[in-house]
Amino acid sequence: MDDLALAAAAAAVVLLAVPAPVPAASVAAPHMCEGGAVDSRGRSSVDGGEIAWDDESKFDDARKHAIKVWTAGTLKQVKIKPDGATSYADLEWRDTSRTGTEWDNVYGKWDPNSGTDILWMNRAYLDDRKALGKDEHRRRVAAHELGHALGFCHKAYGYGQYPSVMWAEYDLIEGKRINGPTSDDIKAYHALWG
């Protein structure tokens, strides 16, 4: 065997012994959504890298908390700011007080529209002296719904091993004392928004 063939054979053995690198996308992949849904830029209130909001809700503390936790640390790719004289609102915070079939145990709701999307806070559950009439509950609901406005779907519970403010069941979020994006939510944010 000549030297060139021997060198090629040795290189092949070395290459076969080295494991293939794990692609970065799979390392940072967001946790699975319920029902086959996916996180989506197209199904969000984000317009041109920002959400300009208008406020028609009495729950200012909850709104401020939600914006704070979704723009903290490394979560800077989407700007969330009040709308101004030269901009249109992408998202309007509003209150409702409903308990009918569609609103049974629905504490908040992100409602996408062809114009301004609406983030509903349900006073039937969130007002003082109601079932969830404390700031800690209102803040969790607002953070969850703003997550939808950012394009995030309901995350699969997965036996609780992937805590998420985007779980569909409020009792699970409350039980884990989740008040904002978890490390899994932050991974999902960066996978969607960079």
The ranges assigned to domains in the chain are 36-193
Which one-letter amino acid corresponds to residue 52?
A
Report, as ranges of residue numbers, the positions in the chain whose pLDDT lies below 50.
Answer: 11-28
Name the DSSP class of 87. Answer: S
Q: Report the pLDDT value the prediction gives residue 1, as an integer from 0 to 100.
A: 54
Cα 93–Cα 106–Cα 131 angle in degrees, nearest 5: 100
Q: Report the pLDDT value the prediction gives residue 162, as an integer from 0 to 100.
A: 87
Counting Cα atoms < 13 Å in the Cβ hemisphere of 167 gives 24
Q: Report the pLDDT value the prediction gives residue 24, as an integer from 0 to 100.
A: 39
What architecture does CATH give domain 36-193? 3-Layer(aba) Sandwich (3.40)
Q: Report the pLDDT value the prediction gives residue 14, as an integer from 0 to 100.
A: 44
Which phi and psi angles does 97 have, rounded to 5°?
-140, 85
